[in-house]
A and B are shown apart, each in its own frame.
Chain A
């Protein structure tokens, strides 16, 4: 074995480039191209965790109060972020040669792993290369007042009604890469792909109990559509029940009278005496679901959804005036 050291060193970078193993990670805790703990940190960085908000949205005017802003994620930006973090581990030129050689595999691994960040326990791991990532920022009282709201994104406009239920593994549902409150009133959501329709739903935690209220000046009336105690569906044909209130108090419901009125409607379960479960069932109110995405006009003109202060055309014409006429 004859080793020519000069030749060896000149060939080494090429050899290193070819030597990158193509490892497919099968477990969070398993080392791939990157060691597991390093990979998890880089994936978090990929999903912009810890990035100061001013770097995400450079000016507060871009996210005024009570607004929702959709966006695409610039992969070059997130790549640069990861490159900056990886640069901490390089000390000498040889390290940089090595990192350059490993970088494509590192990037591919992160592309795959960023999808598995929010994977539900027990579900199959997601694989595949990098796709587009989009998302939205919501700055609203709805975020601070209704914590833990639900966000769902669909790759196609679901044919069902807007209030249909969708199982977690519905193939039309898009994965959420990140759903997090960055501030009490700012919600960041990242989708793995570009959704056609986005549902934002009032939090379901602690099902709410209440009535349909109608206001008339200083007074307030409320009605309660009766439900069937066995199926929990609204009883068809039954008129909504006027909710009785305690005289002389504000907002206090007269539950005994309500029970008597419910008992008059067959099927409510109140006929043989109302139990607390039956009472709760009658009062359950379902949360509101806001649907974003216009199936009628899938491609609105950009001017309707993007209003910059400087148009690109004017910027270009200001810089390149062109020949004078």
Chain B
């Protein structure tokens, strides 16, 4: 069932499937099978019986530290807990029901109880052998999970007075399911199920002889009731409508609450003053400070102060949760209680409870020992409640100074309305001056300077300000320097900053350089965002792409696929040119087609004289190949010339004989290479 946020569900009991102890597990298996001859029974298919031993473990003499989720009142706390029942929250939901409490109890009876002991009522012994941790004669079955344990040694009279009765014990343990998201209740638990053990006693603050409230130190012990359940009272005596505060013999007029505060911070309340002043036996730290008369040893039963002595619990507070800043000086104190182990704290808490006062009339008052799984102590003081503290707190904006006069030897701080504090400062040259300083916490909302926030400074000296009164304001410079030193104090941060510089500064610089060439890159169709190591390849490909798209700009016009032929320049009447070309009379082509045809049929075809090849071949070869080729060319030229001579027959008109169907008009043409060759040959001819 899901529990809503901020809600919780209470269970009377969550029983474990098995109590702690040693168990024997016997596993039997019966096999059956059917064959062609019939079924086989279990006897014919025997399986060996498996016998296993296992142990269900549960804390017995010590509660593992991670199992105690929280305690109330907090360990070592001082406050007005007089109307609240102490309690402990345990992570394992089944823990109070994991063991059998023994004779007198039923299966549902928890084996744990939380008892609250005032100073002097019982003795708490730490780190004793397990065998001594229970009343002599009481034997625990099973194994002990630890070598050493703690026990509470208490007289029967005290058991009758302050321990819960047998009927009370089941009512004092319950299980609780909390919302797993409510982190304040969670504190690291995994499933939200918790077990809670409540005490049956209100830790009342004491009263001195004058009826004033004085703090009383209490010890809360989570005890193991196994095998000793019947030591508890069966039922309570007749109830009383009221209870009395413990009477404290200490004359506490010497100490006011603030003094208690200082004492409990582990510092002397008054310089030079012995904390046992007044001889009242206020043992703050060590047992050595206890006058023997006021504190009879536990074994001295005859010297008991009397029947009322059990309520005489001189208050002591050796709280270790030191609030370090509680100090009269102006500077903040450094942590005083550093380097203490958990064991030290437990020992400290147990120290005031090492001795017990004698019980009533000694004699027939037997002593019992109960194993203690966890103990913590706290001080129940007068009016100090959370409510009182919060309602009485001095409220103001930071910059408000205390209404109390400053401690002797120290001038009142110089605080200006703006929140600046005047502080002594030694300049780099060694001058002692006063400066203004204001931390990050200011009494007025700050206004950003015009143009936005603080511009970037690269050195703290850039942030030093001289204010009109002549002093320097070092607030921001100090902040810069604190930040710089904090960064320098962490090598990982330095490495990270330098890596950032390497990877990001330089990458950004490279990008900016490319961005300057944005136009070119755009022309090359390169995405500016995608510039990387392959930019060279991209540039090459881009160039090829651009050249392919606009070859005119890069390579010039391409050659046409077909080259047009040269136009022949023919002048004169085409008919005459034709007849001249065919070497026939012009009149042969004139007249009716039939006549022309018959006339042509009877006309002899004129033949050009063949060149004299033998004459060419018989030429002297003294001039070599060149001469030969020239002679060939010359022969061809003669033919040409003959032809030209024919062309030049007077009376023949010029006829344009271009390629049929060509749209090209004969145009004035520049002389080309062939023309030049012909010209040069012509000139050569003339020279020869």
Contact = CB atoms under 8 A, between A and B. Distances in A.
B283 interface: no
A219 interface: yes
Contacts, number: 515
Contacts of A74: 438-442, 446, 475
Interface stretch (B24-32, B501-509, B562-570): B501-509
Contact of B439 (A57, A221, A249): A57
8 contacts: A60-B330, A77-B440, A141-B323, A142-B389, A218-B211, A244-B241, A246-B161, A280-B196
Interface string B487-515: 11010111011111101110011011101
A221 to B, nearest CB: 5
A309 interface: yes
Contact of A206 (B70, B200, B394, B395): B70
Contact of A75 (B324, B390, B446): B446
B155 to A, nearest CB: 13
A37 B496 contact: yes
A309 B413 contact: yes
A316 to B, nearest CB: 8
B223 interface: no
A94 B391 CA distance: 57
Interface stretch (B231-239, B285-293, B549-557): B231-239
Contacts of A59: 330, 413, 415, 421, 423
A250 B118 contact: yes
A212 interface: yes
B454 interface: yes
B520 to A, nearest CB: 5
Interface string B428-460: 000000000111111111101100011011111
B486 to A, nearest CB: 5
Nearest to B406: A61
Interface string B227-265: 000000001111111111111000000000010010000
A212 B185 contact: no
A56 interface: yes
Interface of A is mostly: mixed
A250 B243 contact: yes
Contacts of B499: 35
Given A77-B479, A145-B78, A309-B412, A140 B389 contact: yes
B146 interface: no
Q: Which 5 A-B pairs have the closest CB atoms?
A: A84-B483, A185-B323, A89-B497, A244-B239, A213-B83
B319 to A, nearest CB: 9
B398 to A, nearest CB: 4
A194 B207 CA distance: 45
B393 interface: yes
B200 A288 contact: no
Given A96-B458, A138-B393, A251-B201, A15 B412 contact: no
Contacts of B440: 48, 51, 56, 73-74, 77-78, 81
A102 B480 contact: no
Chain B CB within 10 Å — which of A45, A70, A87 has the most?
A: A87
B174 A88 contact: no
Given A222-B202, A278-B12, A315-B469, A67 B493 contact: no
A204 B184 contact: yes
A50 B416 contact: no
A145 B391 contact: no
Given A88-B494, A280-B196, A311-B417, A60 B401 contact: no
Interface string A69-101: 111111111111111111111110011101111
Contacts of A319: 468-470
Contacts of A150: 184
A71 B10 contact: no
B173 A276 contact: yes
Nearest to B71: A206
**Majority DSSP secondary structure for residues of B touching A:** mixed
A308 B443 CA distance: 10
B77 A62 contact: no
B198 A283 contact: yes
B198 A209 contact: yes
Contact of B243 (A64, A80, A220, A256): A220
B262 to A, nearest CB: 10
Nearest to B411: A309
Given A71-B441, A98-B508, A141-B389, A247 B417 contact: no
Nearest to A182: B325
A242 interface: yes
Most buried by B among A54, A84, A245: A84
A102 to B, nearest CB: 7
B165 A256 contact: yes
A80 B457 contact: yes
B150 to A, nearest CB: 23
A19 interface: yes
Given A57-B398, A102-B504, 9 more contacts: A62-B398, A74-B439, A83-B480, A84-B485, A142-B390, A217-B211, A279-B171, A318-B469, A319-B469
Name, among A87, A165, A249, the residue most crowded by chain B CB atoms within 10 Å (CB to CB): A249
B635 interface: no
B417 A56 contact: no
A29 interface: no
B501 A89 contact: yes
B82 interface: yes
A124 interface: no
A210 B218 CA distance: 17
Interface stretch (B379-387, B578-586, B666-674): B379-387
B443 A306 contact: yes
Given A35-B500, A51-B482, A252 B12 contact: no
Contacts of A220: 82, 202, 204, 242-245
Interface stretch (B84-92, B344-352, B364-372, B617-625): B84-92
Given A95-B501, A138-B393, A184-B321, A245 B241 contact: yes
